[in-house]
Structure 1
Amino acid sequence: MADEPAENIAGGDDSRPTTFASGADPTQAALVVDRLGELYWQKTYGGRAAFECLVRTVLSQNTSDKASQPAHDALMQRYGAAADDLAAALADADQDVLADTISMAGLYNQKSATIIRIADRVCEEYGGADGFDAFVREGDPDAVRAALLDMTGVGPKTADCVLLFAGGAPGVFPVDTHVHRIARRMGIAPAAADHEAVRAALEAAVPDAACGFGHTAMIQFGREYCTARDPACLDDPAACPLAEHCDRVGVDAATGAVVDPADAD
């Protein structure tokens, strides 16, 4: 079983090995996640600082880990190293300086404005990063998700990542670009489903204990095998370790065509 990369996907090593069984009558989605767990890892998540996790996930929006990781490191070095409260330090940050600090993450003007706005709200409503951390860890997950989604610049994937990696909430399956593509291509979510519909389908079909590592392992699978334009099955279905569980929606080996599942016949 592979080791999870330390500097991406979960944003760190705050995870614990776990065991998972798909059950006596598993859904197709549960079987897929079970196989992903065998291929990569079976872990539970939780324990990361919630406000830092929120900032990190904002930095990751519309970019890769390769770009967002250095931006996170630079932000923490400038604002987190000597600060008693990261939220307070970022609420008081000069936007131009913050934008320059995180420029490698892309969309830096937009992201710097979002981070300052969120930091100010966290300080006002929760008294700072520690109070926000406690709210995420101890609050009802539905209430936490609703509060996160009420923050301008925070979407469903960002909210769900905070719930999973900071709050350790069971049954949360964040949907990023990889998960959205793979779930629909494999036929475990409707082909035309948007991100929220994919999340609902996966959370309904996958046991709570498996949703967290299902998310991270599916991302890794998308990077290694089920890429957007050149999935491993295109030339040889046997090259994909999940071939027996996949409907290959939008992938036509005969013509070499790969389209979004929503556009498949």
Structure 2
Amino acid sequence: MPDLQQKALLIHDRLCAEYGCPIPYFHDLDPLSELVSSLLSHRTRNADSGRAFKQLVKQFPTWEAVRDAPTQEVEWAIAACTWAEQKAPRIQQVLRLIGERRDGDLSLDFLADLSVPEARAWLESLPGVGPKTSAAVLSFSRLRLPALPVDSHHHRVAIRLGLIPANVAVGPAHALLEAQLPKEWTAQQIYDNHESLMLHGQKCCYYKNPACDRCVVLDLCPFGRSLANS
């Protein structure tokens, strides 16, 4: 059995072959817009958070307008997502804090001039921003920085494959999984790693009744082998 990093790279190569790397980026948002989009996505289906984001930018011409609007109007605009009543004041709070910390400049473009650890630390100092959101902002936005997001599908697949222990939550999983990847990898390679593991969770390694019979990494999967032997 290969060591953990070798195993992670073998899994990456097979899943990339299965899902067609390099995988195109699904967003081309500026980093502040990506942050708002990510905050809306918490505990929400992608289709619903996407609708909420589109309605928000349709209703308000700038992020300054969102920040300064009556909170209830923001809540109505994002009604398609879960917990809109909590997310509306949180988004406004985050926008105010960014403006205060950046001398009135409501933009996150400056993150491009920081190292990835510095940029993640800056983002995670904002309320409601954890490792998943900070990585998503850096990776998915047009900054295209090498940060590894871990969503619930990615997390489930990584546990089943034995890349992380079963008792590691999504937040701490980010550092463990990112440490298994080569430091010289490009942002595209890091993004491909996330996307291929996530897609595998969506298309094969389901939460219930995973399709182990057609899994391209079954021989590397303790969970799948245990099902086959049960």
TM-score interval (norm. to shorter): 0.7 to 0.9
Q: Deviations over 1:210-257 (max 9, x none)?
A: 221111222121111111112111xxx3x21221222217963466xx
Query: How far apart, CA to CA, are the structure 1 residues paired with 2:161 and 2:229?
Result: 18
TM-aligned CA distance change 1:197 to 1:119, over 3 Å = closer
- Alignment partner of 1:203 is 2:178: yes
- Alignment partner of 1:77 is 2:62: no
The percentage of aligned residue pairs carrying the same residue is: 29
Q: Which residue of the partner structure matches residue 36 of structure 2?
A: 55
Name the amino acid aligned to 1:32: I
- Alignment partner of 1:136 is 2:111: yes
When normalised by structure 1's length, the TM-score is 0.76
Q: Is contact 1:95–1:113 with CA below 8 Å preserved after alignment? A: yes
TM-aligned CA distance change 1:59 to 1:250, over 3 Å = farther
Query: How far apart, CA to CA, are the structure 1 residues paired with 2:204 and 2:91?
Result: 34
Aligned runs of 1:242-261 on 2, under 5 Å?
Answer: 242-248=217-223, 252-253=227-228
TM-aligned CA distance change 1:128 to 1:89, over 3 Å = farther
Name the amino acid aligned to 1:216: E
Query: How far apart, CA to CA, are the structure 1 residues paired with 2:225 and 2:47?
Result: 28
Shift in Å at residue 140 of structure 1?
Answer: 2.1
TM-aligned CA distance change 1:147 to 1:231, over 3 Å = same
TM-aligned CA distance change 1:213 to 1:245, over 3 Å = same
- Alignment partner of 1:173 is 2:148: yes
Q: Which residue of the partner structure matches residue 193 of structure 2?
A: 214
Shift in Å at residue 65 of structure 1?
Answer: 0.6
Shift in Å at residue 69 of structure 1?
Answer: 0.9
Higher relative contact order (CA 8 A, sep 6+): 2
TM-aligned CA distance change 1:96 to 1:145, over 3 Å = same
Uncovered stretches (5+) of structure 2, i.e. residues with no partner: none
SS at match of 2:205: coil
Query: How far apart, CA to CA, are the structure 2 residues paired with 1:57 and 1:97?
Result: 20
Query: How far apart, CA to CA, are the structure 2 residues paired with 1:87 and 1:123?
Result: 10
Name the amino acid aligned to 2:18: L
Query: How far apart, CA to CA, are the structure 2 residues paired with 1:251 and 1:147?
Result: 42
Query: How far apart, CA to CA, are the structure 2 residues paired with 1:251 and 1:155?
Result: 33
Name the amino acid aligned to 2:196: A
- Alignment partner of 1:183 is 2:158: yes
Name the amino acid aligned to 1:78: Q
Shift in Å at residue 173 of structure 1?
Answer: 1.3
How many residue pairs get aligned? The number is 219
Q: Is contact 1:183–1:198 with CA below 8 Å preserved after alignment? A: no
Aligned runs of 1:104-143 on 2, under 5 Å?
Answer: 104-126=80-102, 127-130=104-107, 132-133=108-109, 135-143=110-118
SS at match of 2:80: helix
Q: Which runs of structure 1 show a deviation greater than 3 angstroms over 4 or more consecutive aligned residues?
A: 43-48
What RMSD in Å do the two structures reach over aligned CA positions?
2.2
- Alignment partner of 1:231 is 2:210: yes
Uncovered stretches (5+) of structure 1, i.e. residues with no partner: 1-24, 256-265
Q: Which residue of the partner structure matches residue 13 of structure 2?
A: 34
